[in-house]
Each structure stands twice: as C-alpha cells, then as structure tokens.
Structure 1
C-alpha cells in the first residue's frame, strides 16, 4: 500500500483547496496512491461546501480529516491549530504507517518535519511561496512588533531546515527555484527542486465546452450585450492591486466607451464599489458576481480581456497566479505587470497578452488595447503545455514514485 499523508493549512472548502489541492490528489489516487488528507476548514465555508468535498473524497478513496480553523486570538490560535494537526497526524500514522508526508507550505511542514525526524517518514516540502516574507511584505506581520520579529526569525530559520531536511522540494516558479539554489544550502541542489506551477483543469477550462445559449443568457443577465468586458477572476486580498486595476480600467473607458469591468470574486462588492467611486468611476460600469469554481470558465468566456496586477516584491518571486493559466486556457488576452514569478516570461513566450513594466499611473494611462502580439491559439496551447493539470500530476507522480514507487 502506497500511503501518503497530505497536510494543508488551507481548507478544501476554500476555492484554493478545490482548484490547487484536490485535483492533484484525485489524479495521483488514480495512479495507486492512497491519501489521508488533513486540512483546516473555515466554519462559514465548511457547512455549505462539505457535502461536495466528502463525495469527491469518497469517490477517489481519499480519507479526509477536516479540522476547524481558528483565527483568534492571533498567533495563539495558530499554535493551537498546529498542535491539533500534529496530534491528528501522529494518531493516523500509527494506524496507516505513512511512507510519505506531503507538506503544503510552512505551517504544515512543522508537522511533516517532526514525522520525518521521529518516524522516518519521507518528506516533500511544497513551498508554495516564500511564506514568512509574504507575511512581512503583505503587512500582516509588522517587524516593529517584537513578537512578529521573533516569529519571522523563527520561520526563516525553519525555512532553511525544511529545504535541507526534506527529501524533495516543489517550487511554483523557475525564478523561485533559482533564488533557493543561490542560497547554497547543504543538500539543496537544482535536482532536488522540481518546478510545478499552479495548474489548471483543462477539461473544465475549455472554450470549446462553453454553451453558447448559456453565454448569451449571462450577457443578458449582467447587461453585457454590446459591451467591451474587462474581467478579473479570483480573490483580491493582500497582493492584488485593486486600485491600480481600476485605474487601468479607467484608462480603458477612454479607449472603449462601452467598457464594463466584471469581477468574478467572492470579495464583498462594496470594497470594489467604494474604491471605484473614489477614482471617479461610474458604479454602473462595475459588475461583481460570486460563483462556484465549476462555473468560472463560463464567466471568463464573457471577457474581452482580463487584468491582474500583483504587487512585486521579493516573496513574489515564488508566486504562480492560478488565474493566469485559467485565462490563457480560455483564450482571453491578459494584461499583467512584470516582476512576479514566471508570469511575464510566460505571457511573452506564448503571446498571451500585454505585460506592463510597472503599475505606476503613467504606465496605466498609456497602454494600448490592440494586443498586436496576442495569439489566441498559441495562448491556449501555452496553457496546455505549461499549466495543464495532467502535467502537474505527472510532476508530482515522478517525485512520489521515486520515494515510494
């Protein structure tokens, strides 16, 4: 029996869990690996979504052990969650005798490292990004606060330990891999690091499968007929530059008098509307819709172009935006900024849209919507070549098979 423990501090009832965890586990389950999955679920999302996740897990022989995510009090709640994860993981190991522990990011790796040291379980460190630096650069941890300075220092030391003691490392980007290799850590060679970006289920994100009647219906429902639709998909949160995206849209309204901005997101519409109003954008041209992951492709198909801007920083070297593969797969030209992981290099390689050198007001006021280099078929084939779920599963399979094949 090829028993794998998968540890995630993200929830499976979150959109991220449904797009960036479960599809890989399902694909690997079909190749003979038996998964036990520990995740932390937010109570407001768990109740409405749990039935769907339970069915998926039962269908694919995945034993799901959801734990309750606690947010408050800060720091202490995370320590308590880590203890819950550790206790559950060790209890399950005594029953399942895991051969591999797959750790999604830094919190999970605390438990995975303990399993490796105490029980000899092989460890895969799936880095997902330079997490401690993300917390600082995203202004979640203020290093002026002595407590957060201690926590940051602790995780930066742990980062080196995870990289050195793990049996293999997964980086989302080539830029992130080069950065890690440049640190010249013991045992960390280029061969130890495999690059697997945030992949996309191309059976779901397939423009050929969009029902034209449904598309027409959505255009009528959201008053998009005869409009130039600028689209954004996904959460906004800490890193996505809402103000700059709205400024870019304001510029687009001068180029396309019929432009509307459609946000496909679970964010509160008031956050977007308030920011738009401050920039003098007519609220009538802003649309905000929240849909389940399965319905996102239909809404991307409504876009004439898509925008996403991410604040560049050191930690973003290791970031791979899920939305990039989804947009390219649907054959929609995208507008993004340089300096985030492999994003700009991929856009240019596959003629997938426009890369702005920065998101200064000057840059956001002068770009063209002609997309002279955009090649729809090349962008779609680029998504297949670089972001396909099958390729991602094959990448993980090669690592799993090396350790417990």
Structure 2
C-alpha cells in the first residue's frame, strides 16, 4: 500500500497562465518527487486554456499530477466570483469523497474560502498560501471602490475572513518578511511567528541561466530586434497591468537617454504595443527608441540576456508590503542588475543585500541616472549567486516540504 499523502491544490489562477507555469507547477513537480500525490483544481481563462491546455496536461501527466481545470467566469463582477467559488467548493468536496485528501493547499483568498469550508466539513487541514494582501490589493488598485457600499461590504467581509484564514489554517505562507511582520501586528491575531513561513516567488535557476544562452542565438535575437552591441538596453519584463508605473519608467528612460544617447527601452510583454508607444510619445520619447516584443516562457531567459538593466517601478501602497515581484528573481538569476523603487515587499532589501542593482527614490530620476553614469559596475556572477541564495526553486520546494511534513505527520 502506498504511503503517499494526497494533497488538493486549489488555485483561482490558471495553470495555463504564466504564473501557473512559473509559480505553481515547478513547486508541485518538486514536491511530487518527495512523496506527495497532487490533485490540482484551477480556473482557466478560456483563450489560454484553448491554446495551452494540451501542453500543460502533458507536463502535469509526466509528473504524475492530476488536473481538474474549470473555466474562469469573468462577468458579471462579484456574482461571477461567487459562482466560481460555489463550483470550486462543490467539486473539491466531490474529489475528496473519491480521493480522501490529507491536506488542502489554498493559493490566495478565494481558494481559502473553499479550504476553510472543507476544513469545517471534513476536518482536512489547510495551508493559507496568501500570495499578498488580496482584499487590500483590490482597493489599492482601484478595483474595489469602498465608497460604493457593495464593495465596502465585500472588503470588510474578506478582511474578517482573512483573520479567520490566518488563525484557523495549519500553516501560512507569506511572500515577504515585511508581510509576515505586518500580519503579526494585526489586531485579533492568535498565532506565533513560527506558523508563518516566508517563501518568495522563486525561480527555476536551471532555466534562467546566462550560460545556457548560445551567443549565436543571442546575436540573432539582437539583429531581429534591430539592437546593436553599442546600445544600452533597459528592459522591462511582463504585463504592465494595474500596479506598474509605466509613465515613471518612461521618464526614467528619458533621463537615462540624456546621458546614454544609445539607450533603447525593450519591453517583453503580451500587452498592446500601441498603449506603450502612445505613452512613450506623451513623454516625448521617440518611438524608434522603444522596442516591444513577446516571448513564450522558454524564451524569456534569452530576452533577459539582452538587458543591461532590468527595471520595474510599482505603485507603493499598503498591500504591496506583501508582494514579491516574480521578475526580480528571474532578472537576477540571469545576472542582470535590477532598477526598482522602494516600498515594495522585500525588494529594496534584496537589492541592497546582494548588491544587485539600484533602488530609485521616485521621482528623483536624475540622481539615479547620475549614479549609473558614474560608471557603477555590477558583478553579474554575484548577482546570480544572490538569486541562487534567495530565489532558488529548490529552496522554495524545501520550505514547502517542511510545511507539508509538519502538517501531515
């Protein structure tokens, strides 16, 4: 008889999303090799599921991971999420009757609602893998206007549930030390610090490795993007979305351009290029200095290898205390220095601890650019060592394994 423990992994993010591929599947594949049997219940965006589901299913099958995808309901607001929650809870209960789970791993707040309901009904322990302060992110990002009584009610409801998730869960995962410290100061907390593990958004450092990029392939990519070896390339990776300060990043580039005339701004994103070009023009930046391209996950390391610096400016807010930008670890793993702003999770501390780039005090672009123009040299090997130390996927798997073993012993 097998002594493998059965784990139900609940995610409102899709496995066909880039986050699912970078921040869920690699962890579960590593844990599956350590004696845990996984069933994933996830919500997939229809277009991405249609495009990527066969590849994702084959990948999960090869790791012995069972996958139960559901299609995410987009509208109407609030009611669609309630509908998805009811489906998640119902199907999870049905799966438990067939499989008998030893543990439920809840990725963020909607899954935690289902996890705590199943905990009450069946006594299954659950992990609250919070991924940030979700309710506060909705408010800080302008998605929930709490002047509206409906959203005010929903926000207060989730803040009450948040406290319940923290107190009732078997273990908590925070992306940042700053987030952990904040939780321990909340009114109504009934836990000690040992219940919260800090696991940042980790990186597959085997994939993100400059040594695995053939020079000829890098040269071909530069040529296809009309980049010259003399160009200083400021690079941005990922979607712009709600949180990223595009205007501020463009203003930084504009200031950089004055001291580095050969500078180019390379965006690797699936966002609409027209929106970025329009913003560039509004900031008096020649569109020929802005290059926009896309990349599948397997090609992202190649694109980062073109960067001289990787940049991300994020809107500082209370909720961002708990955020760990995935791109920071990926850029560092490629040995590329990071340019970021302060007030985002542990990002500034990581930059300073590992001498891996520059923290900009927005909106003082001039001082930051002057720092770069002074010829500041960054040791790319040491930057990668910093990523291996802090963002290693193997270390993330080890920390999750420790939690799983404690909860299921």
Q: How far off its partner does 1:360 sit? A: 5.3
**Aligned twin of 2:205:** 202
Q: CA deviation at 1:291?
A: 1.0
Please, which of 175, 198, 201 is the counterpart of residue 178 of structure 2? 175
Q: Which residue of 2 aligns with 1:342?
A: 346
Q: How does 1:5-404 map to 2 (within 5 A)?
A: 5-183=8-186, 185-225=188-228, 226-359=230-363, 367-370=371-374, 372=376, 374-404=378-408
What RMSD in Å do the two structures reach over aligned CA positions?
1.3
Secondary structure at 1:368's aligned position in 2?
A: helix
Provide the C-alpha distance between the structure 2 equivalents of 1:368 and 1:212, rounded to a whole number of angstroms: 26
- Residues matched between the structures, number: 405
Shift of 1:368: 3.0
Corresponding residue SS for 1:258:
coil
Q: Give the 3 Å change call, closer, same or farther, for CA 344–371 of structure 1 in structure 2.
A: farther
Q: Deviations over 1:124-178 (max 9, x none)?
A: 0001000000000000000111100000000000000000000100000000000
SS at match of 2:31: helix
CA distance in 1, matches of 2:401, 2:363: 39
The 1:141/1:361 distance shift into structure 2, 3 A limit, reads farther
1:222-262: CA deviations, max 9, x gaps?
00113211100011101111110111111111111111111
Counterparts of 1:150 and 1:12, CA distance in 2: 31
Shift of 1:365: 6.7
Contact 1:328 1:379 in 2 (8 A): yes
Instruction: Measure, in 2, the Cα distance between the counterparts of 1:9 and 1:166.
Output: 18
Counterpart-to-counterpart distance in 1, 2:263 and 2:46: 38
Distance 1:80 1:301 in 2: 43
Cα distance per residue 1:292-341 (max 9 Å; x no partner): 11110000000111110011111000000000001111111111011110
Offset, 1:379: 1.1
Distance across 1 between alignment mates of 2:264 and 2:324: 27
Task: Tell me: CA distance 1:361–1:328, structure 2 relative to 1, closer, same or farther (3 Å).
Answer: closer
**SS in structure 2 opposite 1:71?**
coil
Cα separation, 2, equivalents of 1:141 and 1:34? 37
| CA distance 1:358–1:301, shift in 2 (3 Å) | same
Does the 8 Å contact 2:14/2:42 carry over to 1? Answer: yes
What's the CA shift for 1:357?
2.2
What SS does the corresponding residue of 2:235 show, helix, strand or coil? strand
Q: CA deviation at 1:180?
A: 0.5
**Contact 1:351 1:373 (C-alpha < 8 Å) held by counterparts:** no
Q: Is contact 2:73-2:81 (8 Å) kept?
A: yes
Change in 2 beyond 3 A, CA 1:135/1:369: farther
Displacement of 1:363: 5.9
